[in-house]
Chain A
Amino acid sequence: MNAFLYAMALQWKLDIRSKTLLITCYIVPLLFFAFMGSIFTSILPDAKNTLIQSMTVFGVTMGALIGLPPSLVEIYGGSVQNVYKANGVPISIGVILTNCSAFIHLFTMGSILFVAAPIIFGAQLPANPWMHFIILALLIGVSLSVASVIGLLVKDPSKTAMFSIIVFLPSVILSGIMFSNTLLPNAFQVIGMLFPATWGYRLMTEEVFRFENLLPLFLIWAAAAFLCALLLKRADMRR
């Protein structure tokens, strides 16, 4: 346990030093929040009601899908995974450590938004903050599981970035955080349902744990976790 905690704290520091996660988990989401927050709230005063939720979903989606895969590629695309094997540690520890570290970073970013939005833009706080943070944790977990699949599946750093963007862009555009997804054609609404951001945003704005909103998140998480297990097994078998 001591070793695991040390490894996790170290991974957290490495993520900050690597700058990729620092940029994708903090700098870009917070700059986007500062920029879009001022535009949204000045054009659409009602945007204040959902500013925290929309910016949180954007930040989590970006941090997870763009920030996490490079860390996994560094571990599993090269020979870093040998470090685990050489020390008798299961190779899955790389996924666990990077996920835990990214979770903490994204939760911190979500908390900053929660505190800053009402102060800077007069955004309305969620009626039930506890529920907001539980949904935040859920959304981060599911988004990271999808990001882990990308990081484990694509070993080439340049291709990883491309895959991340292919998943990130529709996640953000079709989730309803920029505009209501009821305005979208049916086909796009259906595609949007494949991404955790859509369900996370619904849960956050409705502030009710509806089974029909929770189930898709659990299904996405279960599918991603299954794929991660398969990819890790394949990585282990190939060696």
Chain B
Amino acid sequence: MHDAVQVNGLRKSYGKHTVLKGLDFTVRQGEIFALLGVNGAGKTTALECMEGLRRYDGGDIHMMGKVGIQLQTASLPEHIKAIEAVRLFAKWNKTVPDKSVLESFGIYEIAKKRYAQLSAGQKRRLHLALALIGNPDILFLDEPTAGLDVEGRLSLHEKIKQLKSQGKTIILASHDMAEVEDLCDRIAILHEGEISFVGTVEDLSLKVGKQYNISIRTDKGIEKMKSGDINETLSILLDRYREEGTGILDIQIDRGSLEQHFIKITKENKK
């Protein structure tokens, strides 16, 4: 798989405060890639440098394709109508808006509404539709579902998955770990302006020390435990139940959420 984005030694300071201390990572073509980090880790600055919205002090950023940016809310004049924004972006991109895209994002329903009258979800949908007007190869999404209700969130997740299936490379920043886990192929974790991890969620769980949460329901009750070696633990438990004559009704094993891994790795970094 080819790289869609290459970031080499990206550095950025605000006055004496260094925000990005030489980031190196690549984003592969057609994948959904997330930048994660606690507040102040530098993910928005990194994202804005990659988007071309912010100047950077050193390093290189290479984009292999046309870029589309889902701008944050409040980035359009409050009196502009949704359809006017679409037409304006289309004119600037020297293209004609794709009606099917506008339809799928429900833009026609809000066409005559002014930006200030739109709900948070409608604004996000509009910004995503605007980002797609130039038919970009690489799409940047900053907190794409922040402030949305469950329905809006799920609907937008579906849209993002559809875009991936169309071969678009998607780079997003999010605080929502469940969202990242659901959507992303790979993640990068930023900590104090440095990359502390790049890889899949599975890679992350291996790095932080895989720990399974095991829950077994038997005819005598529910037993819960954590284990680093699933084979050994299950083997011991099953032998014990057999000896005791305990009947097993249900076994649930989960490998720990991204959120748990993220908290663990950021805590380790702080030490």
Q: A interface vs B, CB < 8 Å? A: 2-3, 6-7, 10, 13-14, 17-18, 74-75, 78-80, 82-83, 85-89, 236-237, 239
Kindly report which residue of chain B lies nearest to residue A236, judged by CB atoms: B55
Segment from B72-80, B158-166, B183-191 that makes contact with A: B72-80
CA distance A6 to B84 in the complex (A): 10
Asked whether A6 and B75 contact (CB < 8 A) given A14-B80, A82-B53, the answer is: no
Q: B interface vs A, CB < 8 Å? A: 48, 51-55, 69, 71-72, 74-80, 84, 87-89, 91-94, 114, 131, 134
A75 to chain B, nearest CB (A): 8
Given A80-B75, A239-B53, 13 other A-B residues pairs in contact with their CB atoms under 8 A: A3-B94, A7-B88, A13-B84, A18-B77, A18-B79, A75-B77, A80-B76, A80-B77, A83-B75, A86-B51, A86-B71, A87-B89, A236-B55
CA distance A10 to B86 in the complex (A): 12
Please list the 5 inter-chain residue pairs (A to B) with the smallest Cβ-Cβ separation, ordered nearest first.
A3-B91, A17-B79, A87-B92, A79-B75, A86-B69
A-B contact count (CB 8 A): 62
Q: Is the CB of A78 within 8 A of B91?
A: no
Q: Is the interface of A mostly helix, strand, loop or mixed?
A: helix
B23 to chain A, nearest CB (A): 18
CA distance A133 to B77 in the complex (A): 32
Kindly report which residue of chain B lies nearest to residue A78, judged by CB atoms: B74
List of B residues within 8 angstroms of A82 by Cβ: 53, 69, 71, 75
CA distance A18 to B54 in the complex (A): 29
B208 to chain A, nearest CB (A): 35
CA distance A6 to B83 in the complex (A): 13
CA distance A205 to B269 in the complex (A): 74
List of B residues within 8 angstroms of A18 by Cβ: 77-79
B181 to chain A, nearest CB (A): 28
A9 to chain B, nearest CB (A): 10
Q: Is the CB of A83 within 8 A of B91?
A: no
Q: Is the CB of B79 within 8 A of A239?
A: no
List of B residues within 8 angstroms of A237 by Cβ: 55
Q: Is the CB of B77 within 8 A of A3?
A: no
